[in-house]
Structure 1
Amino acid sequence: MTAGLPPLGQKDTYKVGFAQAESNNPWRIAQTKSMQDEAAKLGYQLVYTDAQGSAAKQVSDVSSMIAQGVDVIFLSLREEKPLVPAIRAAKDADIPVVLFDRPVDPGLAKAGVDYLTFIGSDFAEAGRRLAAWLIKNAKGKTKIIELEGTTGSAPANDRKKGFADAVKAAGGFQIVASQSADFSRDKGRQVAKSLLQAHPDANVIYAHNDEMALGAIAHLEDAGRKPGKDVLVLSIDGGKEAVQAIVDGKINAIAECNPRFGPIAFQTLKNYAAGGKIQPWVKNIDKFYDSSNAAAEVAGTY
């Protein structure tokens, strides 16, 4: 057990809270399904809420779970600052909290003190993996446009830094423009259009998620350019539509951000209840897709 955190006894079944941030894209839907499927498989009661993109609603959702006396809360964080008091309120109510997707600034709340652990991907590593692919396969394409995720979010910050540091170290590459498209397909299309008009010689698009990459592809095709050939396209997430786009030759490589949290989340719960030591960061295992494996893997994607 982690010192100072609420204990969790070993039981045959648990009442588990899952506070989802939103359900407006395939990644979130797949994450929720994974949690629901695993809870059903184990015979646990899942108290599920959807904050619909509202931090205020998510605070209210967590308060409701505390009032219902859940054994543990899995919190897919919408925003850091508004949710920290809710995390502390759960601790005060002797309910351990596990954070999903996005870590909290340790200056606001600490794993092993205020909450049990963070479960999620290594966002910087995703950027590094795509940079490594590009460095190996660029064939002279070196002028990069970057479509960033939501400004200030941990995934956007880390995916940006991991990629930028790697291409800078390699030398010969230039990120000619970088702008947030808010993880959105429509904004991805709009931002790609404006940045490519400003930098018509750009020949690589690095998108922080599939939705923005697919939006960029739509613009490239509208403009008569061939995504995956005239302009290399790199993405993160690994949803079915995007992996199929690799098969179709329109995306070149994707670093997965695995949404299937259910197995690892409930195993962490069991380990904690059994008195096991829980690391402050439980890393999700992420695949990597390119032309070598996309056709074989696409059927198993979300």
Structure 2
Amino acid sequence: MYKKISALVLAGVTTLVMAGCGSGSGGTDSAGTSGSGDKKIVMGFAQVGAESGWRTANTKSIQESAKEAGIELKFSDAQQKQENQIKAIRSYIQQKVSVIAFSPVVESGWDTILKEAKNAKIPVILTDRAVDSPDKSLYKTFLGSDFVEEGKKAGQWLVDQYKDSKDPVNIVQLEGTTGSAPANDRKAGFEQVVTDPKFKVIASQTGDFTRAKGKEVMEAFLKANPKIDVLYAHNDDMALGAIEAIEGAGKVPGKDIKIISVDAVHDGMQALADGKINYIVECSPLLGPQLMDLTKKVLAGEEVPARVVTEETAFTQEQAKQALPERKY
């Protein structure tokens, strides 16, 4: 009888040891913790939508980077509607995610939902676009481009191109989504540099960052304005739509109408290499790796900068030709 009891005890100990090895090899327990005792990170990400090639690349970067970082990603597409983003963020708060990240559709109207996240002790990281809340304690950091600087780069290229000309230069502008940070800031930055009275913005209207709307608005511009010298588009997709409209009107994009754009997605860079666009200011969508790094630092209690600016450049036709073969988006 003693030998049988000893054998049963030994078997039980062996089973426990084997179970311990199994959980220690990367599994999670019922509380969602790993074998090392680290709590699993769950990110709720509320995306603007899928309005452009840039946004598609941005989404892919976030999804792939979360997977590589071992972060569980709960993802929502707001279809460019603020109410959808607020609904998604509120859902993430109810689910008690570790962190919330989002790219705001517009700048205003976020204080209430951000206060809800703060009260729930869930840190928030802004990506790509900012909010205009005066209470900076409602989010930990803002990761993204300097849209004002992008507008300045676009404006400086224009000023340089026409520095020796005294003739008036008629400009039309395809703005991004009304009320969004990139639309507001790219317009403001451009205006800060393009101050000579010879430059006249004769028409400016939103194209919602989409190719279809860019084409539609450009067609209207062409019908209403017989002489257009320059198009400034707040993103490549609108510029590409405008190119279709310009060609449909029997004009040559890049020659009859010079085109300045922002983003530097693959299709835009190809149009630049082909001479249909004249200059593109880069706005990188590949924010995923930086976002995951910031997330881990925030959750570890580390100090992070209130503003993290992505490093970007700008492209001429020749530079686009050189960059295209290894372009990742």
Structure 1-normalised TM-score?
A: 0.88
Q: Is the CA contact 1:234–1:251 (under 8 Å) kept in the aligned structure 2?
A: yes
Contact 2:106 2:178 in 1 (8 A): no
Residue in 2 aligned with 1:78?
105
Q: Which residue of 2 aligns with 1:7?
A: none
Runs of 4+ aligned residues of structure 1 deviating over 3 Å after TM superposition are: 10-13, 79-83, 138-141, 273-276
The offset of 1:65, in angstroms, is: 1.5
Distance in 2, Cα, partners of 1:132 & 1:86:
39
Counterpart of 1:248 in structure 2 is 274
SS at match of 1:131: helix
Q: Which residue of 2 is the match for residue 119 of structure 1?
A: 143
Give the drift of 1:82: 4.7
Mapped to 2, the partners of 1:166 and 1:121 lie a distance apart of 18
- Displacement of 1:75 in angstroms is 1.3
Q: 2:307 is matched with which residue?
A: 281
Rg (Cα) greater in structure: 2
Structure 2: give runs of 5+ residues left out of the alignment. 1-36
Tell me, yes or no, if the aligned pair for 2:52 and 2:209 is still in contact at 8 Å: no
3-state DSSP class of the match of 1:293?
A: helix
Which residue does 1:48 correspond to in 2? 75
CA, structure 1 residues 124+301, in 2 after alignment: closer, same or farther (shift >3 Å)?
same
Change (3 A) 1:133 1:79: closer
How many residues matched? Answer: 289
**Corresponding residue number in structure 2 for 1:96:** 123
- Please tell me whether residue 194 in structure 1 is matched to residue 220 in structure 2: yes
Separation in 1 of the partners of 2:296 and 2:192?
Answer: 38
Matches within 5 A, 1:120-139: 120-138=144-162
How far did 1:58 drift?
1.9
More displaced 10-residue stretch of structure 1: 174-183 or 10-19:
10-19
* CA contact 1:18–1:74 (8 Å) conserved in 2: yes
> CA distance change for structure 1 residues 197 and 292 in 2, over 3 Å: closer, same or farther?
same
**How many Å separate the matches in 2 of 1:222 and 1:178?**
20
Three-state SS of the structure 2 residue aligned to 1:182 is coil
- In structure 1, runs of 5+ residues without a counterpart are 1-9
- Partner AA of 2:231 in structure 1: I
Amino-acid identity (%): 41
The 8 Å contact of residues 59 and 82 in structure 1, kept in 2 or not, is answered as no
Q: Which amino acid aligns with 1:63?
A: R
Change (3 A) 1:147 1:79: closer
1:213 alignment partner AA: A
Moved more, 46-55 or 217-226: 46-55
**Structure 1 pair 11/143, CA: closer, same or farther in 2 (3 Å)?**
farther
Map 1:6-45 onto structure 2 (within 5 A). Answer: 11=38, 13-45=40-72
After superposition, the Cα gap between the structure-2 partners of 1:157 and 1:70, relative to the gap in structure 1 and judged at 3 Å, is same
The answer to whether the 8 Å contact 2:47/2:75 transfers is yes
> Bigger relative contact order, structure 1 or 2, given CA contacts below 8 A and separation 6+?
1
CA distance in 2, matches of 1:284, 1:226: 34
TM-score in terms of structure 2 length: 0.81
Q: Distance in 1 between matches of 2:40 and 2:318?
A: 43
Aligned CA RMSD, in angstroms, stands at: 2.1
SS in structure 1 opposite 2:178?
coil
* Range moving further from structure 2, 73-82 or 125-134: 73-82
* Distance in 2 of aligned mates of 1:149 and 1:217: 17
Hey, what does 1:231 align to over in structure 2? 257
Aligned to 2:24: none
- Correspondence for 2:205: 179
2:171 is matched with: 144
Tell me the CA shift for residue 144 of structure 1. Answer: 1.1
Q: State how far apart, in whole Å, the 1-side matches of 2:78 and 2:215 are.
A: 26
Partner in structure 1 of residue 295 of structure 2: 269
Letter aligned with residue 179 of structure 1: Q
CA distance in 2, matches of 1:29, 1:210: 13
**Residue deviations 1:222-278, cap 9 Å, x none?**
111110111100111111111100111100111122111111111222333444332
Cα distance in structure 2, aligned partners of 1:12 and 1:133: 50
Q: Indicate the residue corresponding to 1:4 in structure 2.
A: none
- 1:218 corresponds to: 244
Query: Match for 1:149: what amino acid?
Result: G
